[in-house]
Structure 1
Amino acid sequence: MRKDAALPDSVVVREVCPRDGFQNVKEFIPTERKLEWIDALFEAGVTEMEVTSFVSPKAIPQLADAAEVLTETKRRHPTARLTALVPNTKGAERALACGADVLNVVFSASESHNKANLNRSVAESLSGLDDIARLIEGRAELSVSIATSFMCPFEGRTDPRRVSELIGIVREKGARSICLAETIGTCHPRDFAETLDAVFPALDGIPVFLHIHNTFGMALLNVREALVRGFDRFDSAAGGLGGCPYAPGAAGNAATEDLVFYLNGLGIETGLDPLALVKVARWMRDYGLGTLGHLVKSRFGQPVGPCC
């Protein structure tokens, strides 16, 4: 397959299903089953994964086993790069004790979503980031995810100038990587591209992941806009699971198997096996008769030909 010269030769795909994908599933998934799926994702070629989130079990009961999941994943996959989402210093302390390589601190670019999601102002979230940065210095990498970087469910399109300002602030506070999240999956590729162009100068010299949801079915179109601009790190979730509890109507993430199939077709190396990923997605879909099966929404795994 010939590759467009304007596209990167390879990309990093960070699997986020065990955190973002599972957090909205109502029925508790047994810890050992989570670990079996995590193992299968690594067998499919995953090298980076956001494994869980150290939030209050009252807020997200599905992730009440965060410590056990991360500790066991670290034991089974010691060379993998494991990320844990943390909301505060307490969560950061727990994640460090379990061996997280990267601590991902999330807040929103929009005030209304930050209030709904974290019950804090953006200024309060930025202040808390200082405490986490001091705690983890020299022990793990600090990553910062800026939710609603493109669209907000309450305020509409996010001003790219605001996103650029926040990027500058978190870099000064010690962020070693940044994730820009299209949290609600409704951003048109034109607007997505305009935001990327506007914030590009602020991102110079720092690794950047793009976290793209697929509510309007445009995730891969937005991936294309990112690729031609040189972005080469993406979050995705097996089976297209995921969604924000505080963004009504938002659907799941870009499905890992769809993303890898698309990138492979462009001649871009990922190191991932899309057919192996499909098997994981089908395993999750067929697990039980509850919510999970209805949430698996990838396209590549549909049984329409010999490739699947």
Structure 2
Amino acid sequence: MSDMPEQVLITEVLLRDGLQIEPVLVPTADKLRLAYGLLNAGLTSLEIGSFVHPERVPQMADTDRLAAELCAGESAALHTLVFNERGARRALDAGARHVRIIVSASDGHSRSNAGVPTREAMARLEPAVELLSAAKVRIEACVATAFVCPFDGETPVGRVVDVADRLRDFGIQVLHLADTIGAAGPWHVRRTVTAVRAEQSDIPLGLHLHNTYGMAAANVWEALHLGIRRFDAALGGIGGCPFAPGAAGNIATDDLVNLCHHAGIATGIDVDRLVELRDELQALLGRKLGSALAAVPAKPVPLRTARTAPVPG
């Protein structure tokens, strides 16, 4: 667990977690342009939207159209998020072949995000998982508030392990642990990852990190030393959960790729192209973005150690 991976898989969550909290409604055509740009930059895994009621998350109202367009000629892992059976049916109708389900480890966030405590949210997902499994859809799962909850405080490790165990029983292919409000530090990451790994050594583990307190890069570094090779990130560091008070943006994809390349870890992603896309996104949203590279007036310095060979999903 102490060995650094030679390569990592980065899932770009701009189109879902990134945009869901933005006040500017981004047209579907612009979302598609961003998606194709990200794929051309070397991303092989994108989160493209969530099947939720548009009144709760207006930015996700066009997820059906995005999935129908992008998944038709799918050459990458294009994930959509579902919370219940109705969302699963919409995902299948739109042609989605990669679906993520999400459960909060804490009851407080589960009530805010899903409207019910964790146990009930889990039960609500069972028919959705059965439907998706029957259709041979690849299912990944995310444990929200796996480290800290804005309502309940620090999340007990045992509770995270219990939720992860139940998700494993659903037959998921990948498990992600989310620092939903960006309040975790490296110690939280080591403690929780170690505990979950002890119970589920057979399931690939990834992290979904936010950068509220500027700790996301440190948490990535800790995770890399634990052998984690899957990370979610959002271009320019945008995003956050609309149902988690105080949540700030995700770790920035451009910063994460830059960090990995400095460490000689392959991502398969062209950071120069990411910077160009980030500038386009900045103009689209009409505001300055929060990644560290966004504050640099020039392109990133080329690195001898950077390895950009394709990374298998």
The reply to whether TM is greater than 0.5 is yes
Distance 1:160 1:305, change over 3 A: same
Q: 1:178 Cα shift? A: 1.1
* Unpaired stretches in structure 2, ≥5 consecutive residues: 302-313
Q: 1:276 Cα shift? A: 0.8
Paired with 2:204 and 2:182, the residues of 1 have a C-alpha distance of 22
Paired with 1:235 and 1:106, the residues of 2 have a C-alpha distance of 14
Out of 115, 120, 124, the position equivalent to 1:124 is 120
Paired with 1:34 and 1:220, the residues of 2 have a C-alpha distance of 27
State whether structure 2 residue 131 is matched by structure 1 residue 135: yes
Paired with 1:144 and 1:221, the residues of 2 have a C-alpha distance of 24
Aligned to 1:58: 55
State whether structure 2 residue 100 is matched by structure 1 residue 104: yes
Aligned to 2:255: 258
Aligned to 1:230: 227
Q: 1:306 Cα shift? A: 5.4
Paired with 1:199 and 1:34, the residues of 2 have a C-alpha distance of 35
Paired with 1:43 and 1:29, the residues of 2 have a C-alpha distance of 20
SS in 2 for 1:137: helix
**2:4 and 2:224 in contact (8 A); partners too:** yes
Out of 85, 91, 96, the position equivalent to 2:87 is 91
Out of 67, 72, 81, the position equivalent to 1:70 is 67
Aligned to 1:277: 274
State whether structure 2 residue 298 is matched by structure 1 residue 302: no
Paired with 1:123 and 1:259, the residues of 2 have a C-alpha distance of 34
Fraction of identical pairs, as percent: 38
**2:272 and 2:299 in contact (8 A); partners too:** no
**1:241 and 1:253 in contact (8 A); partners too:** yes
State whether structure 2 residue 206 is matched by structure 1 residue 213: no
- Structure 2 length normalisation: TM-score? 0.92
Aligned to 2:109: 113
Q: 1:41 Cα shift? A: 0.7
Query: Could you tell me which amino acid in structure 2 is paired with residue 57 of structure 1?
Result: P
State whether structure 2 residue 179 is matched by structure 1 residue 182: yes
Deviations 1:188-212 (A, max 9, x none): 2222222222222123111222100
Query: Could you tell me which amino acid in structure 2 is paired with residue 236 of structure 1?
Result: A
Q: Where do 1:165-204 residues align within 5 Å? A: 165-204=162-201
Q: 1:173 Cα shift? A: 2.1
Paired with 2:123 and 2:300, the residues of 1 have a C-alpha distance of 51
* Unpaired stretches in structure 1, ≥5 consecutive residues: none
**1:129 and 1:173 in contact (8 A); partners too:** no
Paired with 2:34 and 2:98, the residues of 1 have a C-alpha distance of 21
- Structure 1 length normalisation: TM-score? 0.93
Distance 1:169 1:60, change over 3 A: same
Deviations 1:126-169 (A, max 9, x none): 11221012111142012211100011111111111111111111
Query: Could you tell me which amino acid in structure 2 is paired with residue 298 of structure 1?
Result: S
Out of 11, 18, 21, the position equivalent to 1:14 is 11
SS in 1 for 2:10: strand
297-306 vs 58-67, greater mean Cα deviation: 297-306
Paired with 1:167 and 1:269, the residues of 2 have a C-alpha distance of 28
Aligned pair count? 299
Deviations 1:217-236 (A, max 9, x none): 11010011111111110000
Query: Could you tell me which amino acid in structure 1 is paired with residue 133 of structure 2?
Result: E
Aligned to 1:79: 75
Distance 1:16 1:106, change over 3 A: same
Q: Which 4+ stretches in 1 moved above 6 angstroms?
A: none
Paired with 1:15 and 1:306, the residues of 2 have a C-alpha distance of 20
Out of 216, 223, 236, the position equivalent to 1:239 is 236
Paired with 2:194 and 2:132, the residues of 1 have a C-alpha distance of 32
